[in-house]
Amino acid sequence: MNTSQSAAEWWAINGAITFEGIGLIAFALSGLIEAARKKLDFVGMALVAALTAFGGGTLRDILLDRRPFFWVQNVNWIYVILVLCVLAMIFMRSRHLEFTERAILWPDAIGLGIFTAGGTQIALAANVPAIVAVILGVLSAVFGGVLRDIVVNEIPRAFSDHQPYSVVAFAGAWLVLLGDALSWPGLVSVAVSAFAIVALRMTAVYLEWRLPEWKV
Amino acid sequence: MNTSQSAAEWWAINGAITFEGIGLIAFALSGLIEAARKKLDFVGMALVAALTAFGGGTLRDILLDRRPFFWVQNVNWIYVILVLCVLAMIFMRSRHLEFTERAILWPDAIGLGIFTAGGTQIALAANVPAIVAVILGVLSAVFGGVLRDIVVNEIPRAFSDHQPYSVVAFAGAWLVLLGDALSWPGLVSVAVSAFAIVALRMTAVYLEWRLPEWKV
Amino acid sequence: MNTSQSAAEWWAINGAITFEGIGLIAFALSGLIEAARKKLDFVGMALVAALTAFGGGTLRDILLDRRPFFWVQNVNWIYVILVLCVLAMIFMRSRHLEFTERAILWPDAIGLGIFTAGGTQIALAANVPAIVAVILGVLSAVFGGVLRDIVVNEIPRAFSDHQPYSVVAFAGAWLVLLGDALSWPGLVSVAVSAFAIVALRMTAVYLEWRLPEWKV
């Protein structure tokens, strides 16, 4: 009984860290690819990767007045992203890859799903109203990518993609609240919500769903 | 006596909420118009509208370390802006309006006046020095619009309008401090300052006052 | 003994304020020059100067949850930057200077050195891990310039300079930690680190060191 409880806790803690790590790496990769496409130098690539990975979660922590920040509490994430940048650069230089505009779609979708679900869960734990939890979840996923696009001087994908992006995150975040209402374990709610967001986003991309545009 | 006091309080509270609502809706409209002009999709339009409406007040609350944020304290604002976006989109699609560059001048000016005056008042209540209260008031009015312009990839109007904009807000904000010094009711100070800012801004626009430019 | 201690304290406090002032003025000048090059109006120039000067330190204070902000604690900085802007504008108009792209290199490097070293020191005093102190130092130096470049619609110099910039700050910030480990007086650590960063940055500029770029 005691062991099974410990096992559940072990899964809850390590599952959450694993999720966070996958989300961070996915967003960092999307930043690296975007920076490479813009021909930034190596330091610029690392900075854009770090901004994309850490930006959204930091905004979430500021808005929730949550200190220390997740990257101060767990300093290792900083080193993980640093090592990732170095590896990616070595790899990229040896292969002379050319990135199409579509190359960032997968890492971007995975980051979107994990950060939306995780952010909503963290905001819920801070006892904010449901709609605020959902908005903070979406913000923590979207803001890193918005920063990435702003610093490379583009209109952010989250605003102008013409394919469902933020709206998918907004819809999927409610699954975390559903799971919470049904007393699912936190990790399960987050996993279901994250998976639904990634699946929906990539379906939207492959089936080329388009949002209506303002016509003049 | 007691009734009159209650009436005064009723006016103070509901007047403040009404003002805040007008300011939020005005800024949201300016965001919608700007996003429509940039041909963003419907989700992008709602996001830019929300960013413009909530951005400045959120920065003010962060700088004053004031929690919960005004949009967490009063979650209804989120729904108001959401409904406004939906209505605006339905309306826009049915009419095929074309927005000129001048279309956002009125909503932008009204938002500027109300948020500058209200932000200065809130900062004063937090006991900061006078110059800091004025700067926070101007920031809370200007920041939403700056975000709006940054995300649609423009040099912010607040910096490059060549017509008095932030400087009008800066001047008008001192009226709140004057009212405070003369012990006017808070709502009166805010109303006078907001009205002065809107009037001065629109006068500047119609009379085509221009700020000196740097010549080379 | 007592006198010598007081003298040491006097130096520590006034040295820190002097350093901060030089850094602020250097960054404000870089903002003024950039804004002049972009033909902003006079109010826009003052705003960009203020954003560049105060942006990084404000982010540092937000991330460290440090209130009041340095510019609320010492309101005079606001007036210093205001007077600087007025003087610069009078001077610029009388001389009809034309700024080359290189004109901002010196003020930018001085601001970079002083804010990186000072920010690292302040973060250290708040008992964060070493790597976090260094990152906050670099952020507090780089963020003002990033804001400056974003609002004038450029890809930030910190990301795309192709000459060592942020990486110089990152390297130099460790000197503050070295000084701290060797129990140097705080002012000495900061001075050594700031000097090293400025020297290294300007050497990189004059010798035209280049960071490797991503090739396709």
Model confidence pLDDT, tens digit, residues A55-95: 999 999 999 988 888 888 889 999 999 899 888 878 877 77
Cα-to-chain-centroid distance, residue B78: 16
> Which residues in chain B touch residue C43, judged by CB atoms under 8 angstroms apart?
159, 164-167, 211
Which whole-number Å values give the CA distances from C135 to A28, A89, A158, C159, in the listed order? 17, 21, 28, 15
Model confidence pLDDT, tens digit, residues C111-132: 999 999 999 999 999 989 999 9
- Number of Cβ atoms within 10 Å of the Cβ of C84: 19
Query: Does B165 lie at the interface with C, CB-CB under 8 angstroms?
Result: yes
CB-based contacts of B76, cutoff 8 Å, min separation 6: none
Model confidence pLDDT, tens digit, residues B47-92: 899 999 999 999 999 999 888 888 888 899 999 998 998 888 788 7
- The whole-number average pLDDT for the span B135-153 is 90
> Which residues in chain C touch residue A79, judged by CB atoms under 8 angstroms apart?
131
- CA C88, C92, C94: angle at the middle one, nearest 5? 120
pLDDT-derived band at A1 (thresholds 50, 70, 90) equals very low
CB spacing of A167 vs B92 below 8 angstroms: no
What's the number of domains chain C is made of? 1
At residue B138, the pLDDT reads 93
The phi, psi pair for C210, rounded to 5°, reads -125, 140
CB B180 within 8 A of CB B189: yes
CB spacing of B161 vs C44 below 8 angstroms: yes
Nearest-Cα residue of chain C relative to residue B66: C67
Query: What ipTM was estimated for this complex?
Result: 0.81
Chains that touch C (3 or more CB pairs under 8 A): A, B
> Which residues in chain A touch residue B83, judged by CB atoms under 8 angstroms apart?
none
At residue A10, the pLDDT reads 80
- The whole-number average pLDDT for the span C26-46 is 86
Residue C114 lies inside a defined structural domain of this protein:
yes
CB spacing of A65 vs B69 below 8 angstroms: no
At residue B4, the pLDDT reads 58
Residue A88 lies inside a defined structural domain of this protein:
yes
CB spacing of A214 vs B62 below 8 angstroms: no
Model confidence pLDDT, tens digit, residues A121-151: 999 999 899 999 999 999 999 998 889 988 8
At residue B209, the pLDDT reads 85
pLDDT at C216 > cutoff 50: no
Residue B9 lies inside a defined structural domain of this protein:
no
Residue A211 lies inside a defined structural domain of this protein:
no
Q: Provide the chain C residues 15-34 that lie in CB contact (below 8 A) with chain A.
A: none
Model confidence pLDDT, tens digit, residues C37-87: 888 888 888 889 999 999 999 999 999 988 888 888 888 999 999 899 888
> Which residues in chain A touch residue B97, judged by CB atoms under 8 angstroms apart?
216
Which two three-digit tokens encode residue C96?
């009809």
Residue C211 lies inside a defined structural domain of this protein:
no
Which whole-number Å values give the CA distances from C59 to A28, A40, B59, C12, in the listed order? 22, 24, 12, 24
**Distance to chain C for B209, nearest Cα, Å:** 12
Dihedral angle sign, alpha carbons of residues C9, C82, C159, A25: positive
Residue of A58, A136, A142, A160 to mutate, interface with B, max B Cβ within 10 Å:
A160
Give the predicted TM-score (pTM) of the model: 0.87
CB spacing of C155 vs A151 below 8 angstroms: yes
- Residues B95, B115: Cα–Cα separation, whole Å: 30
Q: Is the peptide bond before C68 cis (omega within 30 degrees of 0)?
A: yes
Q: Is A16 exposed, middle or buried (0-12, 13-18, 19+ CB in 10 A)?
A: middle
**Distance to chain B for C185, nearest Cα, Å:** 31
Query: Does A3 lie at the interface with C, CB-CB under 8 angstroms?
Result: no
Residue C2 lies inside a defined structural domain of this protein:
no
Query: Does B95 lie at the interface with A, CB-CB under 8 angstroms?
Result: no
At residue B214, the pLDDT reads 58
CB spacing of A214 vs B35 below 8 angstroms: yes
Residue B6 lies inside a defined structural domain of this protein:
no
Q: Which domain holds residue A117?
A: 6-206
Which whole-number Å values give the CA distances from C10 to B66, C3, C7, C114, in the listed order? 35, 10, 5, 20
- Residues B116, B190: Cα–Cα separation, whole Å: 9
Nearest-Cα residue of chain C relative to residue B169: C43
Measure CB to CB from residue A44 to each of C128, C154, C160 and give the nearest one: C160
pLDDT-derived band at B201 (thresholds 50, 70, 90) equals very high
Residue B74 lies inside a defined structural domain of this protein:
yes
Give the residue from B143, B134, B130, B142 showing the smallest Cα distance to B173.
B134
